[in-house]
Structure 1
């Protein structure tokens, strides 16, 4: 993750603070830096810190530096710039009624498990760093059967949930929904892994 100090706004624009962006808000951003050679640009998501007047880049969606953080010359311009996933409503959901495991898709924000035939279910998570937009995924036991039919999150190789490996998260319950009508929200980390 890269933290960038924010400066004064360009004429006709506002600072994050004067635009009333709350502390800790995740925003989609665009960075343009024409001060270096060659000029660089980036689209991603970051967390705004009002107290430090910084933005910490958590997700890079695209960049002129082969998808990596761009070198900054000191004269970069940063702006809040919506991306496609910003227009998806958190009320968009996928209801799963079929038997079998469920793979989290790139645009899945909410998955409601409402299986016609109750059974334990694995939720196959993608690599966290590949989660488009850095958006979390919410999984809910919509049918109310999780106590008898646990819902288990399956991590990509080498990833963690709250810092726990798959086997430890299975043992301590971090990777499971075990209460009827329970839900978990998993947030992807740019460095890999998920947190609750």
Structure 2
């Protein structure tokens, strides 16, 4: 199995493309810059205009994305596929947030918001790109989850629950995509 840095495509396709979400800081920002340096065409996302500008200043194609806004997901996919001629080699779902608090104190609305950003948005973006990768016969999807999706801790119930759900959904998806090249 190839890593992100290895090419699984024909030698004629040298410039590989990737969407990296949550690239305003941390893991996403690091990966966007590292993969750009390795020769990838990076499409990075952030929510704040100053974070988008910082990515663009580093030569990265940056876009607004908020997982809670389906229209921003649709716009991102359309813009990237337009720029790549309808192809995409990889998706790195990374953007998320954590809200601390005891489970008993979490209003249902707060828990729904946590799942919207950390689960439903990821699913929406991923399911828009799987058909693209299926058509081209290859692609890689990486989900940056969290240890808290496997080992929950107190006062992180909403985040842990969203990541645990993500772990299950994506393990099922991996089984379903077996043999597809994705």
TM-score normalised according to structure 2 size: 0.31
Q: Greater RCO between the two (CA within 8 Å, min separation 6)?
A: 2
Q: Which has the larger radius of gyration?
A: 1
